[in-house]
Amino acid sequence: MSDVLDQSEIDALLAAVSADLGHTGEAGIGLSAPTQKREVDAYDFKRPERVSKDQMRALMSIHEAFARNLGASLSAFLRTIVEARVATAEQMTYSEFIHSLPSPTCFNLMSCLPLAGKICLEISPLIIYPIVDRLLGGTNSEMFIPQRPLTAIEMRLASRIINRALENLAEAWRELVELDFLVTDTESNPHLVQIVAPNEIVVVISFEIKMGARAGTMSLCIPFNVIEAVIGKLTTQSWRSYSRAEGDTDESRRMVSSLRRADVEARAFLGATQITVSDLLNLAPGDILQLDKMVDQDLIVQVQGRTKFAGRLGKLRGNRAIQITRTAEPTESL
């Protein structure tokens, strides 16, 4: 077989190449098809996004509820207005998270059983020191933020705030999975803590906390390998249906349980009459007052000052009683 192409074979090859170029629409050799532009997204292999956008939105929803509950809890505990909100939620490597933190700071390692691994909770000195000062009776008006680690006494006071935060965090996650958060270690220099590899992807939820004129940040670092077992539950559709079906039911059950233990005042009105001041002054035991109600008429029962029921007067085990017969209209006369 000859290694040299004749003229007919060369023409056939050129015709085939020209046909392919014309079909794909590449510019340059008299093509009729227009060029199609394709959108290309840049992908950084150093920072792969292992959590989808829907799952990140679900995590935002969980921690927005946590921030609201934390603000209310700290406000009641510190006897002052404390505001907490989610500032950012993003994915990054663990080394990027560590290098973004100040040193020294309040850095806490936590377990979240039954999930494997550990997560981090960091509270900025800009807000933890004013909170400690508040617990010690200070006003925070002219407070100087020291550049040193927390002392043993300050850490003991800060742990009361951290424990309250963990209770609220567990409550926020309970609608998705039952977790038990527990502080296992505390460090002032975050660069000395290595819970995952430096290039491992973590989800960082940053919060802004305000107390009066003071403000600071709090960061929650969740490695991907910790939540990998439950990441499938964080899709938008399943999260919303789960939240409606389970969260609302649990909240209603807790509300009903609290209301059942509440004390209310109930009054039954026998009737009304008019007498003179002279008769009022001369009233004595045994005197009879004629009321405007007949014995066969219903008596009105008010609960917390609002007309609710109607009933009949009677006696039960030697005590005066009233038997509810119907629901009363709010406008019925006493």
What percentage of the chain reaches a pLDDT higher than 70?
A: 84
pLDDT-derived band at 49 (thresholds 50, 70, 90) equals low
Q: Do residues 295 and 172 both lie within one domain? A: no
Q: Kindly state whether residue 28 falls inside one of the protein's structural domains.
A: no
Q: Do residues 163 and 298 both lie within one domain? A: no
Q: Do residues 175 and 298 both lie within one domain? A: no
Q: Which of 192-201, 273-282, 293-302 has the weakest average pLDDT?
A: 293-302
Q: Kindly state whether residue 115 falls inside one of the protein's structural domains.
A: yes
Q: Kindly state whether residue 295 falls inside one of the protein's structural domains.
A: yes
pLDDT tens per residue across span 162-175: 999 999 999 988 88
Q: Do residues 276 and 245 both lie within one domain? A: no
pLDDT tens per residue across span 102-141: 889 999 999 988 888 899 999 999 999 999 988 888 776 6
What average pLDDT score do residues 186-207 get?
A: 90
Q: Do residues 122 and 200 both lie within one domain? A: yes
Q: What is the CATH number of the domain that holds 121?
A: 3.40.1550.10
Q: Kindly state whether residue 35 falls inside one of the protein's structural domains.
A: no
Q: What total number of domains does the chain contain?
A: 2
DSSP string covering 35-96: PPP-------TTS---S-HHHHHHHHHHHHHHHHHHHHHHHHHHTS-EEEEEEEEEEEEHHH
Residue from 124, 269, 187, 53 nearest 132 by CA: 124
Which long-range CB contacts under 8 A does 323-331 form with residues at least 24 apart? 325/298, 326/298, 328/298, 328/300, 328/301, 330/306, 331/307
Q: What is the CATH number of the domain that holds 302?
A: 2.30.330.10
Residue span of the structural domain in which 96 resides? 53-258
Considering the entire predicted model, what is its pTM?
0.57
